[in-house]
Amino acid sequence: MLIEFDQAVVSTPQAEVLRGVSVSLAERRIGIVGPNGAGKSTLARLVNGLVMPSSGSVRVDGLDTRQDLKAVRARVGFVFQNPENQIVFPIVREDLAFGLKRLAPDRQQREARIDSQLARLGVGHLADRSSHTLSGGERQLVALAAVLVMEPALIVFDEPTTQLDLRNRNRVRAAIDGLPHDAIVVSHDLELLEDFDRVLVVRDGAIAADDTPAAALRWYREHCG
Ligand SMILES: Nc1ncnc2c1ncn2[C@@H]1O[C@H](COP(=O)(O)OP(=O)(O)O)[C@@H](O)[C@H]1O
Ligand SMILES: [Mg+2]
């Protein structure tokens, strides 16, 4: 999947959040690191049109997020930092079924797809659980399953392991590692990014470094530590 940022600016009345980002991304695993408030989430949200550029453009497989939002959203799934924002239905299964209704009108097919994605993430037993009884790690995995049932080609993760303890962080790391999908992962979990294909460092609304994980993370530690 090819993502092309062309002079993408995001500004608010108070400030310029992203200052003219131009970059093409096509690697299977891309990491984004940077200090708090640098513009990482804004950059990630541009990819699936949750945020639109104030000027410039963002294209996904040649589709402009502004003109082809639906087609972009069908290709790009987004896993939020806080899965509370993502899980809205009282029962896990209902939450996964909601987005699928149009895509898989047949109920049995839909249920099969839901069960298989939950099972693949090791949380098949949670299908009929009440959403509010999930632990933080379970919640993040269910949020990921809800994205996977929609069969996107690329998944963007915004700090997927930030709120998790070590054990759950490892579960989510393993889940991300195991995905055949392309992924863009914003993270402060530098270990997670070590075997990625490419890492961007975002600082002050711009891409300050863009390199192999080893080189980019070294740059990050030296300049932002
Ligand atoms: N919609 C918005 N309105 C005003 N300020 C915003 C908005 N979105 C982001 N910002 C500001 O832009 C900066 C970058 O935000 P963000 O992309 O969330 O950074 P990061 O994810 O790197 O912490 C922050 O200072 C944030 O407060
Ligand atoms: Mg953020």
Which of these, 35, 49, 1, 31, lies nearest to 184 by C-alpha position?
A: 31
Burial status of residue 64 (CB atoms within 10 A of its CB: 0-12, 13-18, 19 or more): middle
Residue 136: CA count within 13 A, CB half-sphere: 13
Residue 155 above 80 pLDDT?
A: yes
DSSP string, 78-128: EE-SSGGGT--SSBHHHHHHHHHHHH--SHHHHHHHHHHHHHHTT-GGGTT
- What does the pLDDT read at residue 83? 75
Question: Which residues lie with the beta carbon below 6 Å from any ligand 1 atom?
Answer: 12, 14, 17, 34, 36-42
**How confident is residue 99, by pLDDT bands cut at 50, 70 and 90?**
confident
Quote the tokens at residue 50: 């949750």
- What does the pLDDT read at residue 103? 85
Taking residues 124-140, what's their average pLDDT? 93
Q: Domain 3-224: which topology? A: Rossmann fold (3.40.50)
Which ligand has its closest atom nearest to the C-alpha of 21? Answer: 1
- What does the pLDDT read at residue 225? 83
**How confident is residue 84, by pLDDT bands cut at 50, 70 and 90?**
confident
pTM of the model: 0.95
The 10 Å CB-count burial string (b at 16+, else e) for 175-191 is bbeebebbbbbbbebee
- What does the pLDDT read at residue 6? 98
The larger pLDDT score, comparing residue 21 to residue 83, is at: 21
Mean of the per-residue pLDDT values of the chain: 94
Element (H, E) at 12: none
Q: What backbone phi and psi angles, to 5 degrees, belong to 137?
A: -70, -45
Name the residue at shortest CA distance from atom 12 of ligand 1: 17
Distance of alpha carbon 34 from alpha carbon 99, whole angstroms:
32
Distance from residue 108's CA to the centre of ligand 2 (Å) = 38
Q: How long is the chain?
A: 225
Least confident of 44-53, 71-80, 96-105, 106-115: 96-105
Query: For residue 224, which amino acid is it?
Result: C
Name the residue at shortest CA distance from atom 3 of ligand 1: 12
The 10 Å CB-count burial string (b at 16+, else e) for 110-138 is bbebbbebbebbebeebbebebeebebbb
Q: Are 197 and 182 in contact (CB under 8 A)?
A: no
Query: For residue 90, which amino acid is it?
Result: P
**How confident is residue 114, by pLDDT bands cut at 50, 70 and 90?**
very high
Query: For residue 199, which amino acid is it?
Result: V
Residue-wise pLDDT tens digits, 39-60: 999 999 999 999 999 999 999 9
Q: Can you tell me which atom of ligand 1 is nearest the CA of 43?
A: 17
- What does the pLDDT read at residue 105? 85
- What does the pLDDT read at residue 87? 86
Taking residues 132-155, what's their average pLDDT? 93
Which of these, 85, 83, 100, lies nearest to 148 by C-alpha position?
A: 100
